[in-house]
Structures are given as C-alpha cells and as structure tokens.
Structure 1
Amino acid sequence: MEQEIDTTQLGEDIVKKLKTIYDPEIPVDIYELGLIYDVMVNTDYEVKILMTLTSPNCPVAETLPKEVEDKVRGIENVRDVEVEITFDPPWSKDLMSEEAKLELGML
C-alpha cells in the first residue's frame, strides 16, 4: 500500500524550498519578498504556484519561474509542478514580510 503523504507538510517543504530562491536584484528570498501569492498541493501531490514578479519587465521574467518550477519539482513526493505568473494584484513593497523590510532597512 502506498504511504500517505501529508499535503500540509509537503506545502511547508515547498515554502522552505522557495525561501532558498533569491531575487537577483534584491538580497531577499522570493517568499519574503512577497512574490509568492499561493502554493496549492492536491491529494495527487501536484503543485500549483501562483506568483508575480516585481515588474512585468523584470530581467528574470524568463528564468525565475523556471527556477521555481525546477527546485519544487526536485522535492521528494512532488509529482508535477505548474507555475503561473500573474500581475493581479501587481507587486508592491506592501507585500514584503516584516523580515524582508527589516533586511532592506525599510523599518
């Protein structure tokens, strides 16, 4: 019988992995920066990540979503990954965590 995998724990593992990915222009990880809007894991261990970029003209618009997909796909038990980019709502500094604001000297 296949072992049951806790989707909540898998979601937490995904967030930990996302916190290892940094915006190349801002020395803060993409999760604390507020670029990740949602992480969804279904019971088939398929992952959908809704994220944004700091701007539509972001220089890493082509590479950052692919890096997110590749790193999350590498997590044990993840069967499939879809990364969707949205600009609704547009990213703003208000989406940054307190930790990110402190790191950037904004507090």
Structure 2
Amino acid sequence: MSEEAVEIDVNELGEKIVRVIKTIYDPEIPVDIYELGLIYDVMVSTDYDVKVLMTLTTPNCPVAETLPKEVEDKIKTLDEVNDCEVEITFEPEWNKDLMSEEAKLELGML
C-alpha cells in the first residue's frame, strides 16, 4: 500500500473515531463529549493504534473513572482500530469556551 493510501485510511479512521466519540454523552449535560470540548486530540498511527487526549469538566468529575473507559471501549469496537489508549489531562483546564457553538446553543448559552 502506498504511503498516500495509508494517510487517507488514517484520516478516514480519524473521522470514524470522532463519529463514535459523538455518541458518548456527559451524564450531567445533554451534549456529547466532543461538542462539549472534552476531546483535545485524536491521534491515529499508521498501525491503527489510537491515542485520545481528553479532559473532564472538573478533576472531581463523578465519571472520572468510567468516561475515559467508555471512550476507549467504544473506539475499540471499530474493526480498523488495533488498540486504543485514553489519556486524561487538565492542561489546559476545561472551560465553557472549549464548547462548540452547537453545544452552547443546546445549553441555551447563545
């Protein structure tokens, strides 16, 4: 497979991963975690290993144990994914400015 074909596949897989992430909702806020701005980065290697850098709304978030696991498990359901690791960071700290316009509209903030 040419290097260009691999790059396209990786990009397509990245888009699929985002679609999967958009099915995961913060239990306290009726908005998916992607639109909420909790996902900082999705990295896909040419070996189809995935690393997600994400945050939580607060360090004391009640789903701190379960939400990253849910993200990892759902991404691993994609046939193309070899492995997935989710890393939690609080740098930068999450704030409402990270939310998409769609999320702000949904929550009546616009």
Asked if 1:93 is matched to 2:88, the reply is no
* Higher helix residue share: 2
Asked if 1:9 is matched to 2:12, the reply is yes
Query: Residue 43 of structure 1: SS of its match in structure 2?
Result: coil
- What is the TM-score with the length of structure 1 in the denominator? 0.96
Q: How many Å apart are 1:76 and its aligned residue?
A: 1.4
Structure 1: any 5+ residue segments left out of the alignment? none
In 2, the alpha carbon distance for the partners of 1:60 and 1:98 equals 24
Q: How many Å apart are 1:67 and its aligned residue?
A: 0.2
Structure 2: any 5+ residue segments left out of the alignment? none
Query: Residue 69 of structure 1: SS of its match in structure 2?
Result: helix
How much identity, in percent, do the aligned residues show?
77
Consecutive aligned runs of 4 or more in structure 1 exceeding 3 Å deviation: none
- What is the TM-score with the length of structure 2 in the denominator? 0.93
Q: Which residue pairs with 1:68 in the alignment?
A: 71
Q: What's the CA shift string for 1:44-70, capped at 9, x where partnerless?
A: 000000000000000000000000000
**28, 33, 40: which is aligned to 1:30?**
33
CA RMSD of aligned residues (A): 1.4
